[in-house]
Amino acid sequence: MSLNLRAVDLRAASSAADVIFDALREAIVEGTLKDGELLRQDQIATMFNVSRIPVREALARLEEQGLITNQRYKGAVVSSLSLDEISEMFEFRALLEGEIIRQAVDVISDETLAKAKDYANQFARVTDSNLWGNLNRQFHYTLYKDCKKPYHLQIISNALDNVSRYLRAQLVLTAGIERARKEHAGILNAAINRDGEAASELTRAHILGASRSLIEFLEKDRQNV
């Protein structure tokens, strides 16, 4: 077993369903596919040059994640969340992320802190709003990841997936960026000082504040439809 060749684990390679799942997931999370938009199996199959079978598998998985809703014989639509549902998901995130960062700051490495700082800086500098969502996610996720709780992290990630297409509206349309920038700095600082309690409280406030701002915005926005 000493062949001078870089090998990859082909068993872990992606099936067509995997590729389609990832693509749809990303499009929904980024908001490219809008709230309530109808997803036609045939259309997606044609786009990816496959039959409808792997498309259906991807859709089944997306539904299990809550990102789409399937109605038998009618089709799949991108899930459209009520204000209550959005609000609940932010509360959920505040609970989970507040707890995880408390545990994380005790074990987070200096390299990881440096990475988080880098993401925070990029987030503050970059002006392309398409990048904000991802940089925001990277910043937070980086702070959490050293605590070695993969299940918690996966659930957190999924919860974020379910609200990011709304969060983006909050950042872009309510001057949320400037506030987020400051709050990120505060959280990062608490992490650098290894102050779990402060990091937790600031993270909770960060999430719940964004929630309030978003809900307020959506309340106005949804009236004029």
Interface with a second copy (CB under 8 A), residue total 30
Q: Which stretch binds DNA (CB under 7 A): 7-15, 132-140, 156-164, 212-220?
A: 7-15
CA distances from 75 to 19, 21, 56 (A): 20, 16, 10
Site track for DNA across 68-97, x = CB under 7 A: --x-xxxxx---------------------
Using rule CB under 8 A, residue 63 touches a second copy: yes
Q: Tell me which amino acid residue 162 is.
A: N
Q: Considering only residues 37-56, where is the footprint of a second copy by CB under 8 A?
A: 53, 56
> Which residue is associated with the tokens 């997606």?
44
Give me the phi and psi of 37, to 5 degrees please: -65, 140
53 binds DNA (CB under 7 A): yes
Interface positions, 23-52, toward DNA (CB under 7 A): 39-42, 45, 49-52
Residue of 30, 37, 91, 146 that binds a second copy (CB under 8 A): 91
Footprint of DNA on this chain (CB under 7 A)?
A: 10-11, 15-17, 39-42, 45, 49-54, 56-57, 70, 72-76
